[in-house]
Amino acid sequence: MKIYTKTGDAGTTALFGGTRVPKHNIRIESYGTVDELNSYLGLIRTQEIDSHSKEILIYVQDRLFTLGAILATDPAKATLKSGKERLNIPKIEEEDIVLLEKEMDNMNNALPPMTHFILPGGNSIVSYCHIARTVCRRAERRVTLLNENEPVDEQVLKYLNRLSDYLFVLARKLSNDTNAEETQWIPKKL
């Protein structure tokens, strides 16, 4: 497979199904931000973290590739008028969302209760987690904008929303695991 095709030299790219769109199209922005998020998860996974969290991150990265494929597909070319699928694109399933919820519940049960907002930071690993969380929120914003123009599978929206929550709880868990200080945000009194 050749990496460069030169077909994007004029500022357009092809969606799955062949439709060409500008590289700044909201669909491209959406799956490009998901790709950026996936790269940050790879960075977190290469840190000194527990093996279970690494396994979950690998699973999440796989789901993000699926999510990116969904977003990179021209909806008009994905199905026939009969509703039958034309392109074989995997889906984000409810079980993918439930897994994140169960992981959050398990981590939260082992953490001290949160009484205030927490400032991002503590150490590099925790900071990478918070960066990934904010990139996830940006991806979610991009996908919701796309959804206003072209309907997006609701599981995609739910997954991104739940994933940003998961990354917040993972940051707290990694703070706890590494004995990093969680700095609470306590608003200044006026």
Domain 13-179: give its CATH superfamily. Cobalamin adenosyltransferase-like (1.20.1200.10)
3-class state of residue 86 by DSSP: coil
Q: Tokens 């949160």 map to which residue?
A: 114
Structural tokens at position 185: 């945000």
**Predicted pLDDT at 38:** 98
Q: Give just the sign of the alpha carbon dihedral 125, 46, 52, 104.
A: positive
**Predicted pLDDT at 18:** 77
Distance CA 168, CA 129 (A): 7
Collect the ranges in the chain with pLDDT lower than 70: 1, 7, 22, 78-87
**Predicted pLDDT at 79:** 60
**Predicted pLDDT at 3:** 77
**Predicted pLDDT at 78:** 67
Q: Tokens 């074989």 map to which residue?
A: 88
Nearest to 130 by CA among 95, 93, 71, 180: 180
Instruction: Sketch the domain layout of the chain as residue ranges.
Output: 13-179
**Predicted pLDDT at 83:** 55
**Predicted pLDDT at 2:** 74
Cβ atoms 98, 89 nearer than 8 A? no
Q: What is the pTM of this model?
A: 0.90
Q: Bridge partners of 85?
A: 79
Structural tokens at position 155: 């599981």
